[in-house]
A and B are shown apart, each in its own frame.
Chain A
Amino acid sequence: MRKPAHGKSRRPVKLAFTQQQLELLDRLKAEQRWGKTREEIVLAVFRDYVKQELGE
Protein backbone atom coordinates (compact mmCIF):
# COMPACT_ATOMS: atom_id res chain seq x y z
CA MET A 1 0.00 0.00 0.00
CA ARG A 2 1.18 3.50 -0.80
CA LYS A 3 1.83 5.61 2.32
CA PRO A 4 0.30 9.11 2.49
CA ALA A 5 2.81 11.85 1.67
CA HIS A 6 3.95 13.33 4.98
CA GLY A 7 3.03 16.93 5.62
CA LYS A 8 0.67 17.24 2.66
CA SER A 9 -2.89 18.28 3.43
CA ARG A 10 -5.50 15.55 3.26
CA ARG A 11 -8.99 15.73 1.82
CA PRO A 12 -11.55 13.50 3.51
CA VAL A 13 -14.26 12.16 1.21
CA LYS A 14 -17.28 10.37 2.64
CA LEU A 15 -19.07 8.08 0.23
CA ALA A 16 -21.85 5.52 0.50
CA PHE A 17 -22.00 2.08 -1.12
CA THR A 18 -24.87 -0.37 -1.38
CA GLN A 19 -24.45 -3.86 0.06
CA GLN A 20 -24.12 -5.12 -3.52
CA GLN A 21 -21.28 -2.75 -4.30
CA LEU A 22 -19.60 -3.72 -1.04
CA GLU A 23 -19.87 -7.40 -2.01
CA LEU A 24 -17.74 -6.63 -5.07
CA LEU A 25 -15.23 -4.59 -3.06
CA ASP A 26 -14.99 -7.29 -0.40
CA ARG A 27 -14.02 -9.86 -3.03
CA LEU A 28 -10.84 -7.84 -3.58
CA LYS A 29 -9.77 -8.55 0.00
CA ALA A 30 -9.11 -12.15 -1.02
CA GLU A 31 -6.71 -10.97 -3.73
CA GLN A 32 -4.48 -9.54 -0.97
CA ARG A 33 -3.09 -6.71 -3.11
CA TRP A 34 -5.75 -4.05 -2.75
CA GLY A 35 -5.75 -3.69 1.03
CA LYS A 36 -7.42 -5.22 4.05
CA THR A 37 -10.13 -2.71 4.85
CA ARG A 38 -12.81 -1.35 2.56
CA GLU A 39 -11.30 2.13 2.88
CA GLU A 40 -7.88 0.86 1.77
CA ILE A 41 -9.46 -0.99 -1.14
CA VAL A 42 -11.39 2.09 -2.33
CA LEU A 43 -8.19 4.14 -2.32
CA ALA A 44 -6.14 1.46 -4.07
CA VAL A 45 -8.78 0.93 -6.75
CA PHE A 46 -9.13 4.67 -7.26
CA ARG A 47 -5.37 4.96 -7.75
CA ASP A 48 -5.37 2.13 -10.27
CA TYR A 49 -8.28 3.70 -12.13
CA VAL A 50 -6.37 7.00 -12.30
CA LYS A 51 -3.38 5.11 -13.68
CA GLN A 52 -5.55 3.46 -16.34
CA GLU A 53 -7.46 6.60 -17.27
CA LEU A 54 -4.94 9.41 -16.81
CA GLY A 55 -1.72 7.40 -17.06
CA GLU A 56 -0.49 8.84 -13.75
Chain B
Amino acid sequence: MAKPEAKYGKERLKIVFQPVEGKAIPMKAGEVLRITQLGNGQCVDFNCFNLHDYKEMLSVGFTRMHSFRPKKGDFLWSNPPRSNPLMAILEMPASCVTDTLHARCNAYLFEDYYGFDLHTNCQDTFAAAVGEYRLTPDDVHDAFNLWMDTGWDDQGNTVIRRITGRKGDYVDMMAMMDVLAVPILCGSGDVQPTAAFFPKPIQVQVFESSAASLRKCKEMNARLKLKNNRELKDFAVQEILATRELKRDPKYKPKFVNFPLQFTELEVELDETEYGQLQRLRFADYQEDEEILREAVMRWLFRNRTRRGRLKASAGSK
Protein backbone atom coordinates (compact mmCIF):
# COMPACT_ATOMS: atom_id res chain seq x y z
CA MET B 1 0.00 0.00 0.00
CA ALA B 2 1.29 3.48 -0.87
CA LYS B 3 2.51 5.56 2.06
CA PRO B 4 0.06 8.38 2.83
CA GLU B 5 1.32 11.78 1.67
CA ALA B 6 2.81 13.90 4.49
CA LYS B 7 0.73 16.96 5.30
CA TYR B 8 3.88 18.95 6.17
CA GLY B 9 7.60 18.32 5.76
CA LYS B 10 9.98 17.55 8.62
CA GLU B 11 10.36 19.83 11.62
CA ARG B 12 13.30 22.20 11.03
CA LEU B 13 12.95 24.51 14.04
CA LYS B 14 11.65 24.09 17.57
CA ILE B 15 11.97 26.89 20.14
CA VAL B 16 10.34 27.60 23.47
CA PHE B 17 9.77 31.31 23.98
CA GLN B 18 9.99 32.37 27.59
CA PRO B 19 8.02 35.39 28.78
CA VAL B 20 8.52 37.87 27.23
CA GLU B 21 10.48 37.09 24.07
CA GLY B 22 9.99 36.44 20.39
CA LYS B 23 11.93 35.82 17.21
CA ALA B 24 11.91 36.82 13.57
CA ILE B 25 11.86 33.58 11.55
CA PRO B 26 12.44 33.43 7.79
CA MET B 27 10.06 30.98 6.14
CA LYS B 28 9.80 29.71 2.58
CA ALA B 29 6.43 29.47 0.83
CA GLY B 30 4.70 26.25 1.82
CA GLU B 31 6.43 25.98 5.20
CA VAL B 32 4.23 25.80 8.28
CA LEU B 33 4.56 27.70 11.55
CA ARG B 34 3.04 25.95 14.56
CA ILE B 35 2.44 27.88 17.78
CA THR B 36 1.54 25.78 20.82
CA GLN B 37 0.25 26.78 24.24
CA LEU B 38 2.45 25.30 26.97
CA GLY B 39 0.22 26.65 29.74
CA ASN B 40 -3.44 27.55 30.07
CA GLY B 41 -3.50 30.70 28.03
CA GLN B 42 -0.88 33.09 26.67
CA CYS B 43 -1.62 35.72 24.04
CA VAL B 44 0.74 35.63 21.04
CA ASP B 45 1.22 38.68 18.81
CA PHE B 46 2.23 38.21 15.19
CA ASN B 47 3.95 40.43 12.60
CA CYS B 48 4.91 39.37 9.09
CA PHE B 49 6.94 40.78 6.17
CA ASN B 50 7.58 39.75 2.59
CA LEU B 51 11.10 38.33 2.97
CA HIS B 52 12.23 39.92 -0.31
CA ASP B 53 10.58 43.34 0.09
CA TYR B 54 9.98 44.49 3.65
CA LYS B 55 7.64 47.28 2.52
CA GLU B 56 5.07 44.55 1.93
CA MET B 57 3.91 43.53 5.37
CA LEU B 58 0.92 42.31 7.32
CA SER B 59 -2.06 44.67 7.16
CA VAL B 60 -4.34 43.98 10.08
CA GLY B 61 -6.75 46.54 8.61
CA PHE B 62 -7.04 44.69 5.29
CA THR B 63 -7.17 41.35 7.10
CA ARG B 64 -10.00 42.71 9.28
CA MET B 65 -11.93 43.62 6.12
CA HIS B 66 -12.07 39.89 5.36
CA SER B 67 -12.80 38.74 8.89
CA PHE B 68 -12.91 40.46 12.25
CA ARG B 69 -11.69 37.26 13.90
CA PRO B 70 -9.59 35.31 11.39
CA LYS B 71 -9.96 31.57 11.95
CA LYS B 72 -9.17 28.25 10.29
CA GLY B 73 -9.50 28.67 6.53
CA ASP B 74 -8.83 32.43 6.58
CA PHE B 75 -5.73 34.32 5.46
CA LEU B 76 -3.51 37.07 6.81
CA TRP B 77 -3.21 39.74 4.11
CA SER B 78 -0.50 42.20 3.13
CA ASN B 79 -0.94 45.93 2.83
CA PRO B 80 -2.82 47.26 -0.22
CA PRO B 81 -2.00 47.81 -3.00
CA ARG B 82 0.00 44.56 -2.72
CA SER B 83 -3.02 42.80 -1.17
CA ASN B 84 -1.46 39.34 -1.14
CA PRO B 85 -2.15 36.47 1.24
CA LEU B 86 0.92 36.20 3.52
CA MET B 87 -0.17 33.31 5.74
CA ALA B 88 -2.97 30.75 5.52
CA ILE B 89 -4.51 29.55 8.77
CA LEU B 90 -4.56 25.77 8.39
CA GLU B 91 -5.41 24.73 11.93
CA MET B 92 -6.91 26.71 14.80
CA PRO B 93 -8.96 25.42 17.73
CA ALA B 94 -12.17 27.16 18.79
CA SER B 95 -10.43 28.10 22.04
CA CYS B 96 -8.06 30.34 20.07
CA VAL B 97 -10.08 33.54 19.73
CA THR B 98 -8.20 36.00 17.52
CA ASP B 99 -7.98 39.77 17.63
CA THR B 100 -7.63 42.38 14.89
CA LEU B 101 -8.74 45.29 17.05
CA HIS B 102 -6.10 45.90 19.67
CA ALA B 103 -3.09 46.56 17.42
CA ARG B 104 -0.21 45.99 19.85
CA CYS B 105 0.49 47.05 23.41
CA ASN B 106 3.31 49.50 24.00
CA ALA B 107 5.20 51.17 26.81
CA TYR B 108 3.13 54.35 26.56
CA LEU B 109 -0.06 52.44 27.41
CA PHE B 110 1.39 50.90 30.56
CA GLU B 111 2.74 54.23 31.73
CA ASP B 112 -0.69 55.75 31.06
CA TYR B 113 -2.69 52.93 32.71
CA TYR B 114 -0.45 51.98 35.62
CA GLY B 115 2.36 54.54 35.85
CA PHE B 116 5.06 51.99 34.95
CA ASP B 117 8.39 53.54 34.00
CA LEU B 118 8.82 50.59 31.65
CA HIS B 119 6.64 47.51 31.34
CA THR B 120 7.10 44.60 28.95
CA ASN B 121 5.13 45.33 25.78
CA CYS B 122 4.65 44.01 22.27
CA GLN B 123 5.99 47.04 20.39
CA ASP B 124 9.35 46.78 22.14
CA THR B 125 9.45 42.96 21.90
CA PHE B 126 8.75 43.11 18.15
CA ALA B 127 11.39 45.83 17.73
CA ALA B 128 13.95 43.70 19.59
CA ALA B 129 13.11 40.68 17.41
CA VAL B 130 13.12 42.38 13.99
CA GLY B 131 16.31 44.29 14.78
CA GLU B 132 18.14 41.10 13.81
CA TYR B 133 17.14 41.94 10.22
CA ARG B 134 18.03 45.65 10.61
CA LEU B 135 14.40 46.68 10.72
CA THR B 136 13.60 49.61 12.99
CA PRO B 137 10.89 50.07 15.66
CA ASP B 138 8.97 52.04 13.01
CA ASP B 139 8.76 48.89 10.87
CA VAL B 140 6.79 47.09 13.58
CA HIS B 141 3.13 47.10 12.57
CA ASP B 142 -0.25 46.36 14.11
CA ALA B 143 -0.28 42.73 15.15
CA PHE B 144 -2.58 39.84 14.41
CA ASN B 145 -3.20 38.56 17.92
CA LEU B 146 -3.78 34.90 18.69
CA TRP B 147 -5.56 33.84 21.86
CA MET B 148 -6.84 37.34 22.53
CA ASP B 149 -10.56 37.95 23.01
CA THR B 150 -11.50 41.58 22.46
CA GLY B 151 -14.60 43.58 21.68
CA TRP B 152 -16.25 46.88 22.46
CA ASP B 153 -19.08 48.05 24.65
CA ASP B 154 -22.15 50.15 23.85
CA GLN B 155 -20.15 53.33 24.43
CA GLY B 156 -17.52 52.34 21.85
CA ASN B 157 -14.87 51.53 24.46
CA THR B 158 -12.70 48.52 23.70
CA VAL B 159 -12.63 45.60 26.13
CA ILE B 160 -10.29 42.64 26.61
CA ARG B 161 -11.96 39.49 27.90
CA ARG B 162 -10.28 36.68 29.80
CA ILE B 163 -8.12 34.47 27.62
CA THR B 164 -9.75 31.21 26.50
CA GLY B 165 -6.62 29.30 25.45
CA ARG B 166 -5.80 25.93 26.98
CA LYS B 167 -2.61 23.95 27.38
CA GLY B 168 -1.87 21.99 24.21
CA ASP B 169 -3.85 24.28 21.88
CA TYR B 170 -1.95 24.86 18.66
CA VAL B 171 -2.31 26.98 15.55
CA ASP B 172 -0.76 26.12 12.18
CA MET B 173 -0.15 28.89 9.67
CA MET B 174 1.38 28.24 6.25
CA ALA B 175 3.55 30.83 4.52
CA MET B 176 1.93 31.78 1.20
CA MET B 177 5.14 33.46 -0.01
CA ASP B 178 8.64 33.71 1.41
CA VAL B 179 8.12 35.67 4.64
CA LEU B 180 9.79 36.88 7.77
CA ALA B 181 7.33 35.63 10.40
CA VAL B 182 7.54 37.25 13.82
CA PRO B 183 5.65 35.52 16.63
CA ILE B 184 6.17 37.02 20.09
CA LEU B 185 4.73 36.61 23.56
CA CYS B 186 2.43 39.49 24.48
CA GLY B 187 3.97 41.62 27.22
CA SER B 188 0.70 42.62 28.85
CA GLY B 189 -0.14 39.25 30.38
CA ASP B 190 0.79 39.92 34.01
CA VAL B 191 -1.47 42.97 34.30
CA GLN B 192 -4.23 42.08 31.82
CA PRO B 193 -6.49 39.07 31.04
CA THR B 194 -4.37 38.35 27.91
CA ALA B 195 -2.49 35.69 29.91
CA ALA B 196 -4.94 35.49 32.82
CA PHE B 197 -2.53 37.66 34.84
CA PHE B 198 0.41 35.28 34.64
CA PRO B 199 2.69 35.04 31.56
CA LYS B 200 3.48 31.54 30.29
CA PRO B 201 5.92 30.15 27.73
CA ILE B 202 4.87 29.03 24.27
CA GLN B 203 6.43 26.64 21.77
CA VAL B 204 7.16 27.60 18.18
CA GLN B 205 7.93 25.05 15.48
CA VAL B 206 8.55 25.36 11.75
CA PHE B 207 7.86 22.45 9.43
CA GLU B 208 9.43 22.32 6.00
CA SER B 209 7.13 22.29 3.01
CA SER B 210 5.88 18.98 1.65
CA ALA B 211 4.62 18.19 -1.84
CA ALA B 212 1.09 18.51 -0.40
CA SER B 213 1.66 21.87 1.31
CA LEU B 214 3.39 23.32 -1.76
CA ARG B 215 0.53 22.16 -3.96
CA LYS B 216 -2.00 23.68 -1.57
CA CYS B 217 -0.02 26.94 -1.45
CA LYS B 218 0.12 27.13 -5.24
CA GLU B 219 -3.58 26.34 -5.64
CA MET B 220 -4.65 28.92 -3.07
CA ASN B 221 -2.39 31.61 -4.54
CA ALA B 222 -3.79 30.92 -8.01
CA ARG B 223 -7.35 31.13 -6.69
CA LEU B 224 -6.75 34.41 -4.85
CA LYS B 225 -4.68 36.15 -7.54
CA LEU B 226 -6.40 39.17 -9.07
CA LYS B 227 -5.37 41.82 -11.58
CA ASN B 228 -5.14 44.35 -8.76
CA ASN B 229 -2.40 42.61 -6.78
CA ARG B 230 0.05 45.42 -7.50
CA GLU B 231 3.78 44.96 -7.74
CA LEU B 232 6.60 47.45 -7.34
CA LYS B 233 6.73 47.96 -11.11
CA ASP B 234 3.15 49.29 -10.96
CA PHE B 235 4.00 52.06 -8.49
CA ALA B 236 4.14 55.70 -9.60
CA VAL B 237 6.87 56.21 -7.00
CA GLN B 238 9.19 53.23 -6.52
CA GLU B 239 12.21 54.47 -4.60
CA ILE B 240 12.16 54.23 -0.82
CA LEU B 241 13.03 57.52 0.87
CA ALA B 242 16.50 57.56 2.37
CA THR B 243 15.88 60.80 4.26
CA ARG B 244 13.57 61.35 7.21
CA GLU B 245 12.48 64.89 6.37
CA LEU B 246 9.59 65.00 3.89
CA LYS B 247 10.04 67.36 0.94
CA ARG B 248 7.62 68.11 -1.86
CA ASP B 249 8.48 67.04 -5.42
CA PRO B 250 7.37 70.06 -7.47
CA LYS B 251 7.35 68.02 -10.70
CA TYR B 252 5.04 65.32 -9.35
CA LYS B 253 1.58 65.02 -10.90
CA PRO B 254 -0.81 62.60 -9.16
CA LYS B 255 -2.80 60.19 -11.35
CA PHE B 256 -6.11 59.43 -9.67
CA VAL B 257 -8.03 56.31 -10.68
CA ASN B 258 -10.82 56.81 -13.26
CA PHE B 259 -10.59 60.55 -12.73
CA PRO B 260 -12.66 62.53 -13.45
CA LEU B 261 -15.63 60.24 -12.88
CA GLN B 262 -18.20 60.31 -15.68
CA PHE B 263 -21.85 60.74 -14.71
CA THR B 264 -24.59 59.52 -17.06
CA GLU B 265 -28.23 60.39 -16.49
CA LEU B 266 -31.01 57.89 -17.09
CA GLU B 267 -34.75 58.42 -16.83
CA VAL B 268 -37.14 55.72 -15.69
CA GLU B 269 -40.85 55.80 -15.04
CA LEU B 270 -42.47 54.35 -11.94
CA ASP B 271 -46.17 53.65 -11.63
CA GLU B 272 -48.09 54.83 -8.59
CA THR B 273 -47.57 51.57 -6.68
CA GLU B 274 -43.84 51.59 -7.38
CA TYR B 275 -43.56 55.23 -6.45
CA GLY B 276 -45.22 54.46 -3.13
CA GLN B 277 -42.74 51.61 -2.58
CA LEU B 278 -39.86 53.97 -3.39
CA GLN B 279 -41.05 56.34 -0.67
CA ARG B 280 -41.26 53.49 1.83
CA LEU B 281 -37.71 52.43 1.03
CA ARG B 282 -36.27 55.88 1.88
CA PHE B 283 -32.88 55.20 3.49
CA ALA B 284 -32.37 58.68 4.96
CA ASP B 285 -34.74 61.59 5.52
CA TYR B 286 -32.84 63.97 3.21
CA GLN B 287 -33.12 61.75 0.12
CA GLU B 288 -34.65 62.84 -3.17
CA ASP B 289 -36.39 60.23 -5.35
CA GLU B 290 -33.24 59.86 -7.47
CA GLU B 291 -31.12 59.04 -4.46
CA ILE B 292 -33.52 56.41 -3.09
CA LEU B 293 -33.80 54.66 -6.44
CA ARG B 294 -30.03 54.63 -7.04
CA GLU B 295 -29.35 53.35 -3.54
CA ALA B 296 -31.91 50.56 -3.92
CA VAL B 297 -30.31 49.46 -7.20
CA MET B 298 -26.78 49.56 -5.78
CA ARG B 299 -27.80 47.73 -2.59
CA TRP B 300 -29.36 45.03 -4.77
CA LEU B 301 -26.17 44.71 -6.81
CA PHE B 302 -24.04 44.35 -3.69
CA ARG B 303 -26.35 41.78 -2.13
CA ASN B 304 -26.98 39.70 -5.22
CA ARG B 305 -23.94 40.04 -7.43
CA THR B 306 -20.97 40.05 -5.04
CA ARG B 307 -19.59 37.13 -3.08
CA ARG B 308 -19.39 39.25 0.06
CA GLY B 309 -23.00 40.40 -0.27
CA ARG B 310 -24.30 36.87 -0.71
CA LEU B 311 -22.35 35.69 2.34
CA LYS B 312 -23.75 38.57 4.38
CA ALA B 313 -27.30 37.87 3.23
CA SER B 314 -27.03 34.17 4.03
CA ALA B 315 -25.53 34.91 7.47
CA GLY B 316 -28.39 37.32 8.16
CA SER B 317 -31.01 34.77 7.20
CA LYS B 318 -29.73 32.18 9.66
Contact A42 B271 (CB under 8 A): no
The answer to whether A11 and B266 have CB atoms under 8 Å apart is no
Query: In the assembly, what is the distance between CA of A15 and CA of B265, in Å?
Result: 5
> How many B residues have CB within 8 A of the partner chain?
34
Residues of A whose CB lies within 8 Å of any CB of B are: 4-5, 8-22, 24-25, 27-28, 38-39, 42-43, 45-50, 52-54, 56
Lowest 9 A-B CB distances belong to which pairs?
A: A15-B290, A49-B300, A10-B269, A11-B275, A19-B262, A16-B263, A49-B296, A11-B270, A50-B277
Residues of B bordering A, CB below 8 Å: 258, 261-275, 277-278, 280-281, 289-291, 293-294, 296-301, 303-305
| B261–A19 CB distance below 8 A | yes
Q: Is the CB of B268 within 8 A of A12?
A: yes
The 19 listed contacts between A and B (C-beta, < 8 Å) are A8-B272, A9-B271, A11-B270, A13-B293, A14-B267, A15-B291, A16-B265, A17-B266, A18-B262, A19-B262, A22-B264, A28-B305, A42-B297, A46-B278, A46-B297, A49-B296, A50-B274, A50-B281, A53-B296
CA distance A42 to B298 in the complex (A): 10
Which among A22, A46, A53 has the highest number of chain B CB atoms within 10 Å? Answer: A46
